[in-house]
């Protein structure tokens, strides 16, 4: 009897796993179809063959993999390059990432771009084996080699500006930050945001919440959690909430809408991309131009001006910024631009660490 129970339980588990998997596969499949189509269109340009290695999620993740894909798409049409896109599987090891990069290099792809810090160690290794191939890695400065370009972002600087915007727009003198997963990268957003808010209003009340802790990465893709967290903050008095929570941001917007509060988007100009029903609560977004970084790198490659080492996409370089779509920050634009100039000129130094 017990044996039956175990077998049944096992079967049930596997079935549900399979359902999840096949659902994921359906999603993945359609994405791949898109990829194939866009690649077909780009062919014939005869430019460089670009290898793009995504992190888990790949093209279609509505987050920074997608941003990288936009950069590639732009390069395809403007620079006439070809692209090959590979994505990581959940639970894989560095060895498999390494193999992915190596396969691309062996397949004649040059340059090769790794999206996400997880490619740091694998790229360091593979770049040594292929000294004639140019590599680039997004969000990581650790991988150092004469043929690796590190494309990093000053998220804290952009966040400083939206933090200032939040403080200026807040009527209740209280703002909140919702982070997707408590990883160092997101802590940079938090640090900049809090610093910006405090900079314009010393006594402002701030609240911070992360949705999940690593290795649980679902915080980047769980709108329900985002909504609960944001609702809690709004109920607690906050009237502007900034999220750095990827796909969970949708929930934050919803909570802001229901609570008559304001929200700030992240990564892309979400007043353009978010669900139509909640667009009007988004006063601004902290844009992180991964697409620009990817495109710039590809452009430098076609121009033969690739530089190894870290290239920080900060306010100065236009890698991060705040958006103005919707006109909700027009009345404070002058103040924000002044802050922006002070950061660019170095008059204001924004720390990437919280509590500093």
Give the binding site for other proteins (CB under 8 A). Answer: 2-3, 6-7, 9-11, 13-15, 17-18, 21-22, 24-25, 28-29, 32, 35-36, 84-87, 89-96, 99-100, 103-104, 107, 117-118, 120-121, 125, 129, 139-144, 150, 182-185, 212-216, 310
Pick 5 or 202: Cβ nearer other proteins: 5
Which DSSP category does 221 fall into? Answer: S
Pick 24 or 277: Cβ nearer other proteins: 24
Nearest distance, CB of residue 247 and other proteins, angstroms:
19
Nearest distance, CB of residue 216 and other proteins, angstroms:
5
Pick 168 or 185: Cβ nearer other proteins: 185
Nearest distance, CB of residue 337 and other proteins, angstroms:
29
Residue found by looking up tokens 């103040």 in the block: 335
Nearest distance, CB of residue 121 and other proteins, angstroms:
8
Classified as helix, coil or strand, 241 is: strand
* Residue 287 in tokens: 């844009």
* Residue 110 in tokens: 């040059």
Inter-CA distances, 139 with 31, 155, 288, Å: 24, 10, 11
Pick 160 or 210: Cβ nearer other proteins: 210
Nearest distance, CB of residue 97 and other proteins, angstroms:
9
Phi, then psi, of 102 in degrees rounded to 5: -65, -40
Pick 341 or 351: Cβ nearer other proteins: 351
Nearest distance, CB of residue 212 and other proteins, angstroms:
8
Nearest distance, CB of residue 206 and other proteins, angstroms:
20
How many residues does the structure list for the chain?
356
Buried b (16+ CB within 10 A) or exposed e, 268-301: bbbbeebeeebbbbbbbbbbbbbbbbbbbbbbbb
Nearest distance, CB of residue 228 and other proteins, angstroms:
17
Pick 117 or 242: Cβ nearer other proteins: 117
Give DSSP secondary structure letters for 6-71.
Answer: HHHHHHHHHHHHHHHHHHHHHHHHHHHHHHHHHHHHHTTS---EEEEE--TT-TTSSSHHHHHHHH
Residues 6+ apart with CB under 8 A from 141: 150, 152, 310
Pick 80 or 182: Cβ nearer other proteins: 182
The answer to whether 249 and 278 are in contact (CB under 8 A) is no
Answer positive or negative: Cα dihedral of 79, 54, 146, 316. Answer: positive
Pick 101 or 165: Cβ nearer other proteins: 101
């Amino acid at each position: 009897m017990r044996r039956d129970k175990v077998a049944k339980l096992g079967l049930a588990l596997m079935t549900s796993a399979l359902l999840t998997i096949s659902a994921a596969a359906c999603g993945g499949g359609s994405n791949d179809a898109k990829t194939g189509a866009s690649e077909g269109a780009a062919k014939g340009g005869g430019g460089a063959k670009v290898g793009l290695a995504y992190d888990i999620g790949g093209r279609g993740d509505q987050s920074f993999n997608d941003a990288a894909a936009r950069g590639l798409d732009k390069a395809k049409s403007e620079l006439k390059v070809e692209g090959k896109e590979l994505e990581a599987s959940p639970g894989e090891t560095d060895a498999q990432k390494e193999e992915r990069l190596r396969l691309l290099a062996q397949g004649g792809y040059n340059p090769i771009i790794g999206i996400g810090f997880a490619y740091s160690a694998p790229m360091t290794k593979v770049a040594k084996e292929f000294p004639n191939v140019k590599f680039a890695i997004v969000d990581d400065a650790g991988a150092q080699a004469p043929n690796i370009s590190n494309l990093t972002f000053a998220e804290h600087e952009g966040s400083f500006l939206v933090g200032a915007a939040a403080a200026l727009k807040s009527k209740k003198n209280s703002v909140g930050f919702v982070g997707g997963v408590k990883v160092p990268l997101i802590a940079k957003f938090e640090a900049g945001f809090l610093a910006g808010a405090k900079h314009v209003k010393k006594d402002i009340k701030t609240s911070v919440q992360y949705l999940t802790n690593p290795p649980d990465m679902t915080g980047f893709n769980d709108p329900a959690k985002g909504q609960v967290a944001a609702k809690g903050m709004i109920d607690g008095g906050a009237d502007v909430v900034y999220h750095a929570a990827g796909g969970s941001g949708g929930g934050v917007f919803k909570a802001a809408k229901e609570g008559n509060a304001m929200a700030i988007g992240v990564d892309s100009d979400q007043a353009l991309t978010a669900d139509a029903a909640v667009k009007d609560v988004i006063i601004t977004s902290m844009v992180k131009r991964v697409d620009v970084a990817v495109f710039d790198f590809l452009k430098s490659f076609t121009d033969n001006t690739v530089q190894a080492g870290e290239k920080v996409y900060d306010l100065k370089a236009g890698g991060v910024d705040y958006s103005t779509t919707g006109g909700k920050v027009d009345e404070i634009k002058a103040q924000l631009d002044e802050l922006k100039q002070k950061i660019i000129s170095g008059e204001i130094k924004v720390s990437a660490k919280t509590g500093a």
